[in-house]
Amino acid sequence: MSIKVYLPLNYYYLKKPTDLYGQVQINEDNVVAYYVLEASDLEFRDKAVNHEASNMRFLGSILSVDFNADQNQYLKFNMRLCFTYNSSRANISLVYTGITPEYLKHIKLILYEKAMIRNLFIGGESVNRRSTEHGDSDSGACDFVELCRLTQSTLETQNIAGKQAKKSVLHGLTLIADFPIAIFRYIAENVFVNSIMVHTSIYKHFREWQTTCEEGSRPPNIALDRALGIILMLILFSLATQPGDFLIQISHYVIDQLYSLLKVLEGSPIGLKLNIHLNNFFLDCFKYHIELWSTFLDFIEPLVRQVFLAIGAFGCLGLTFQIALLEDLISIIGLHSHCFYIYTKVLYNVERKGLSVLWQVVRGNRYNILKGRTESHNYMNRQLYLATIFFSAILFLFPTTLVYYVVFAALKALTFATLSIFEFFRRQILSLPIEGCMRPFLKGCHDIDCLQIKDVSPQESAFLIHKNQKISVTVYKITAV
């Protein structure tokens, strides 16, 4: 069992009567931790002093060595810690602790700098934004995290008047910035619109973005997202003369490439001999499908030209919303290729299953459902004759179906890979440790793994007298590598 006293470095060399404020915590392993956070000029009163309403309590004082108070006087002023100083020593000495374990052999006095502790990072994330759910196995790291939270809370309680004015200004700016997202939220949560948008990428991203905002864990990411979105919006509106023409050109380019792909499949692709009649059937169906899609694009061309305006307007919400909308546009542009993939996949599965079943019939076997195994069976001649005919027909048609299935499955995989890349960048913008990346450029910011505790040797050995026993007090200092 031990006692840890966390004391600001400048208080260790303070030589004037001072009141100390902070918090006391008893850890699970019965280690008593005193966190000294603030100090003020000494004010003795007849009754105990307590400041728990302001998240800090009165811990004790720094007194002159001539005070010579007994334990009753310490209890009278509700002291939990007491330090003394004199002219012969360069630093203060610990002379009293209010909470003392029964078997105490050692006390650690740990000195720290407030600026360094307030700007700690764990894994690229600011300690101040980490929730208490992040449990660290190392007790020392837990003490540092708790010390960082406490020092940050004391910083927030200072300069309340100035902070209230700043908070009001920030609240007004936040309302202006959140006005576009409030409109989008109102539209997206409408019952009719929600039933249409629920499966779109932009709606799914809206839910993820809303969760990130409610957690309040990534404000730099949200700010960067909106800044990049506004920049792209300005570029689209100012530099691009007709951005809608670009989308039309992309749509017709995709259609032309599909025509070229079907033209390649019309002959003997990579030397494969396809079934002429089935191949012509596929080509007629797919070309007709592409013609319908081309006609539909020509019909909605005026609307499509305005889509880029919507992408630009979504810059008020953020770059990630623009990327999500672009994902939906790519899905719409490639809708016909997705339909081709579905057609060939269904036909491929039917033929594969048919070949598997008919192969068992040709071999004179069947699958026994009750016993769960394949066993021999005596089929009639007409059954074997029909099975052989169907098996031969499907076997000769299967290579053609397989070629179309592989081609459009590859096209589907390419589209899916493109969407996955956009989705990856969209989510990375909201999850990147921007605070950690900015740490090298910010003065006084340190990673918690870079902290180390060094022994500070005072001029003479320090002891605390408790129940007529000498308890050694070792002084340490938190430094950064």
pLDDT of residue 421: 93
Helical spans, DSSP H, in 133-159: 139-157
Q: Which two tokens stand for residue 279?
A: 């191949």
pLDDT of residue 417: 92
pLDDT tens column, 331-373: 887 887 888 899 999 999 999 999 988 888 888 887 777 777 8
In whole angstroms, give the CA distance from residue 146 to residue 74.
27
Coil, helix or strand at residue 279? helix
Helix axes 243-266, 381-431, angle to 10 degrees: 150
Residues in contact with 81: Cβ distance below 8 Å, sequence separation at least 6, in sequence order: 5, 20, 34, 36, 59, 60, 94, 96, 97, 98
In whole angstroms, give the CA distance from residue 358 to residue 188.
51
Using alpha carbons, list the distances in angstroms from residue 96 to 62, 69, 178.
11, 10, 53
- Least confidently predicted of 184-188, 341-345, 476-480: 184-188
Is 188:197 a contact under the CB 8 Å cutoff? yes
Average of pLDDT values for 168-191?
Answer: 72
**Model confidence band, residue 248 (pLDDT cutoffs 50, 70, 90):** confident
In whole angstroms, give the CA distance from residue 247 to residue 387.
51
- pTM to 2 decimals? 0.61
Q: How many CB atoms lie within 10 A of CB 76?
A: 15
Using alpha carbons, list the distances in angstroms from residue 446 to 6, 115, 135, 142, 438.
18, 10, 20, 16, 11
pLDDT of 379 > 70? The answer is yes
In whole angstroms, give the CA distance from residue 111 to residue 91.
12
**Residue 480 identity:** A
Residue spans of the domains in the chain: they are: 3-158+444-480, 237-437
In whole angstroms, give the CA distance from residue 237 to residue 228.
14
pLDDT of residue 239: 64
pLDDT tens column, 117-136: 777 766 556 655 554 444 45
